[in-house]
Amino acid sequence: MSIEVEVDESDLAEMVEQVWESYLDPEGVSPLIPTYDENQPSEVHSSVSITGSWTGHVVYASSRAAAVRAAAAFLAMDLDEVSEDDMSDTLGELANIVGGNVKAMLPPGSQLSLPQVNLTPESSARFPNTQRIGGVYGVWEGEPVSVSMWQSRIDNKEEGA
């Protein structure tokens, strides 16, 4: 059985803001500035899957420069100290945090997967039978960053059945 997702773009935006306040911009000097452009480019992405009352994916995507900046902020490093592993770990944790907060807004009983990290553009992501249902799209220090939700089409079919 499936339900209509209860998480809207303003909820996602609030979660993203909390992530920025907590880890990426604790001083409040470089927020994510909305672009509302769901087609903005990315070079890397990470995702977590949610199954249960709602089935889909939460995807964090950004340019490589934004991912390095995120890792530097997350890990309190200089930009030139950030390794590929640092960047991957940070991308995974960012997807995990936002995905976990999305799951918390769904009816109880959903499961959250461990994060998957791909150092490739979000456009290369393969989430079979899904459609993007919303997201937060912006630039951070001039670099593209997005967090989007992808819903399984199987859910939709069941709802319509």
Partner 1 sequence: MTPMRAMVIDDSRAMRMILKRIVTKLNFEAVEAGDGKEALDLLADMTEVPDLALIDWNMPNMNGLEFVTKVRADPRLREMTLVMVTTESEQSQIVRALAAGAHEYVIKPFTEGAMIEKLALLGLVPTGANS
- In the beta sheet, which residues pair with residue 138? 34, 145
Helix orientation angle between 84-104 and 64-75, rounded to the nearest 10 degrees:
80
Which of these ranges, 37-45, 59-67, 101-109, 120-128, lies near partner 1 under the rule CB under 8 A?
A: 101-109
Should residue 84 be labelled a site residue for partner 1 when binding is judged by CB under 8 A? no
Beta-carbon contacts of 116 under 8 Å, excluding residues fewer than 6 positions away, are 46, 47, 48, 92, 95
Should residue 101 be labelled a site residue for partner 1 when binding is judged by CB under 8 A? yes
Closest among 103, 75, 105, 106 to 88, alpha carbons compared: 75
Q: Which of 22, 120, 123, 131 binds partner 1 (CB under 8 A)?
A: 22
Query: 40 vs 90, which CB is nearer to partner 1?
Result: 90
Residue ranges that bind partner 1, judged by CB under 8 A? 18-19, 21-23, 26, 71, 74-76, 85-86, 89-90, 92-93, 96-97, 99-101, 103-104, 108, 112, 114
